[in-house]
Each structure stands twice: as C-alpha cells, then as structure tokens.
C-alpha cells in the first residue's frame, strides 16, 4: 500500500469514528423512547421496499438472517411490523409496517432530520451534494464487491 493510501485510510477511519459514534448517539437519544437505531433502520428499509423479506434485510445489514429475525420479532411483538405469506409460495414471507409502525417510523424520521440538519448548515449545497454522491459511490462499490475489496 502506498503512503498516500495509508494516510487517506487513517484520516477516513479517524473521522468515521467521530461522526458515526456521535451521530448514532444523538439519534439513539432522540428516538430512544420509541425504537432502537437498528429497529429504525429496519423500518426504513421495509418502507423503501414494496415486497420486503428478511433475506433482503439481512443482505442490506450484512448480517445473518437470525439477527434480523430477532429484531423483526421484537417489532412484530410491538405491533410495528406484520408478516404476510405469499399466496403462491407459502414459504415466502413479506414484511410490512403496521399503522403503528408507520407512525413510529415517521416520528423517528422527523427526529433524525432534526439531529442531522444543523450540521448541514455549515456546508454549501454543492459540497453536500458532492459528499453524498461520493458516499453513495462507495456504498455501490461495497455492494457490488460483496463488501470485499478487489
């Protein structure tokens, strides 16, 4: 590995630790009464999929299905998510939000917007767009390679 790459990786890791720990803590504090960060992220993914499955969630989180099942079970018990079997293939189970789940999700979404938006005011719109585009590209590269470098 060349010296530049090592320097960039160290800088990335330093800022990654600060940003993710602080944002996650602030999000956790703002939505703590209703759901956990992981539960919020699960609801967010379910909201974005017409036919959401545990397999899709496990792949998105890069964890085993048993980890997702535990979170889904808690969301089902809390009345936020429901399971529906496919009429044509009874082995296929789809996950969807209940009205209660949608309400909790939408409130958490508002609270997260309030946590993150103040940080954006220190940047110009073009800088925010560039940052998001580069971060999305990094995400795509990671998904395409299965999370492993080439």
At residue 148, the pLDDT reads 61
pLDDT of amino acid 150: 52
SS3 78: coil
CB–CB of 95/46 below 8 Å? yes
Strand, coil or helix: 52: strand
Write the CATH number for 87: 1.10.10.10
- Residue 76: count other Cβ atoms within 10 Å of its Cβ: 15
pLDDT at 139: 86
Condensed to tens digits (0 to 9), the pLDDT of residues 43-66 reads 999 999 989 999 999 998 889 999
Question: Is pLDDT of 147 > 60?
Answer: no
Q: Which of 46, 49, 48 is nearest to 76 (CA)?
A: 46
pLDDT per residue as tens digits for the range 104-141:
999 999 999 999 999 888 899 999 999 999 999 998 89
pLDDT digits (tens, 9 = 90+) for 94-103: 999 999 999 9
150 part of a folded domain: no
- Helix boundaries (H) for 1-149: 3-31, 37-47, 54-61, 65-77, 99-120, 125-144
Q: Round to whole Å and give the CA distance between 46 and 105.
A: 10
Q: Structural domain tally of the chain?
A: 1
Domain span holding position 113:
3-122
In a domain, 131, yes or no: no
Q: Is residue 65 part of a domain?
A: yes
Assess if residue 147 is contained within a domain. Answer: no
Predicted TM-score (pTM) of the model is 0.81
């Amino acid at each position: 590995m060349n010296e530049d790459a090592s320097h960039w990786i160290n800088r990335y890791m330093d800022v990654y630790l600060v940003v993710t720990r602080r944002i996650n803590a602030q999000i956790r504090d703002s939505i703590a009464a209703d759901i956990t960060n992981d539960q919020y992220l699960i609801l967010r993914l379910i909201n974005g999929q017409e036919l959401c499955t545990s397999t899709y969630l496990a792949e998105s989180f890069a964890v085993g299905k048993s980890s997702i099942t535990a979170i889904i079970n808690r969301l089902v018990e809390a009345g936020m998510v429901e399971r529906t079997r496919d009429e044509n293939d009874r082995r296929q189970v789809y996950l969807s939000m209940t009205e209660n789940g949608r309400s909790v999700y939408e409130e958490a979404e508002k609270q997260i917007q309030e946590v993150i938006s103040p940080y954006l005011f220190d940047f110009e719109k073009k800088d925010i767009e560039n940052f998001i585009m580069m971060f999305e590209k990094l995400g795509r590269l990671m998904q395409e390679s299965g999370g492993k470098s080439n």
